[in-house]
Structures are given as structure tokens and as C-alpha cells.
Amino acid sequence: MHEEHPFREITLQDLERLDPVTLRTVRSCANCGRCGGACLARIRDLSPARVLRLLQLGRLDEVLTSRFLWSCIGCRRCSRCCPQELDVATAVVRLRRLAARHPRATFPEYLLRYVTR
Ligand code: SF4
Ligand code: SF4
């Protein structure tokens, strides 16, 4: 019998249970793009603005397999520049909880050393 992909069960509604901050940010983002321009993350396969847009479109998989999530340095420039006063920085960091469970997680090598000890 074909084994079900375990990650298919996770939906945007799960964010509400796991993390109300992220869900509120996704729902309230007006897609102005400012946080994307302000971001200092070194790896930019996505940006905070793009993350939020993809989540609005239900494209959770693309977000959770991005390298950007692990590249966020927590500078909070995204949150400070948001005209909606959304806590974008917290949302980005909390998405890592889901990303770490993804079968195609792009967990950085240097962090892997710590979690496998
Ligand atoms: S907190 Fe993270 S996502 Fe926000 S601007 Fe800084 S590096 Fe980018
Ligand atoms: S700055 Fe705020 S409203 Fe604009 S894209 Fe980022 S989260 Fe959305």
C-alpha cells in the first residue's frame, strides 16, 4: 500500500494551533513588500514578504523548504518597517518549528551538529 506523505496533513490551519502570531501575520499582510526590502538575511531564495505571500496562497511547502528561513538573523528590521505593525520577524522564526519537521528540510549543516549530539 502506498504510504501517505506525513507532511501533507499540515495545513495553514495548523499554524493557528501551533502559532497564532504567524497566522495573524499571514492574514493581515497587505503585500506591500517593505519587509522584503529591509531584510538582512544572507540567503534570499525567499524574503519575508514572499514567505507571507506564499502562505496566503497556501504554498506552505515552498516556504518550509526554503533556505531563507534558516538564514534569518533576527534583526527585526522587517517588523519595524511593517505599516501594519505585524510581527514578521517572530513569524519567520516560528516557521522553523514546522520547517524542521519537513522531510525535505534545508536544516543548516552547522545546526545539525548540535541536534544530533
Ligand atoms: S528578522 Fe529575519 S526576516 Fe526579518 S529582516 Fe531580519 S533577517 Fe530578515
Ligand atoms: S511590511 Fe508588513 S504588510 Fe508589508 S509585506 Fe511585509 S508583513 Fe506584509
- C-alpha to C-alpha distance for 21 and 90, rounded to whole angstroms: 7
Residues in contact with ligand 1 by the CB-under-6-Å rule are 38-41, 48, 72-78, 88-89, 92
Residue 4 lies in a domain: no
CATH number at residue 22: 1.10.1060.10
Say what the pLDDT of residue 116 is.
Answer: 55
- The tens-digit pLDDT sequence of the chain (117 residues) is 444 444 445 566 666 666 888 889 999 999 999 999 999 999 999 999 999 999 988 888 899 999 999 999 999 999 999 999 999 999 999 999 888 888 887 877 767 666 554
Question: Going by CA atoms, what residue is nearest to atom 2 of ligand 1?
Answer: 72
Q: Kindly report the pTM of this predicted structure.
A: 0.85
Task: State if residue 50 touches ligand 2 by the CB under 6 angstroms criterion.
Answer: no
Structurally, how many domains does the chain consist of? 1
Residue 3 lies in a domain: no
Look up the domain containing 78 and give its range: 10-115
CA dihedral 5, 101, 114, 79 (to 10 degrees): 150
Question: Going by CA atoms, what residue is nearest to atom 6 of ligand 2?
Answer: 35
Residue 1 lies in a domain: no
Say what the pLDDT of residue 12 is.
Answer: 67
Question: Going by CA atoms, what residue is nearest to atom 8 of ligand 2?
Answer: 29
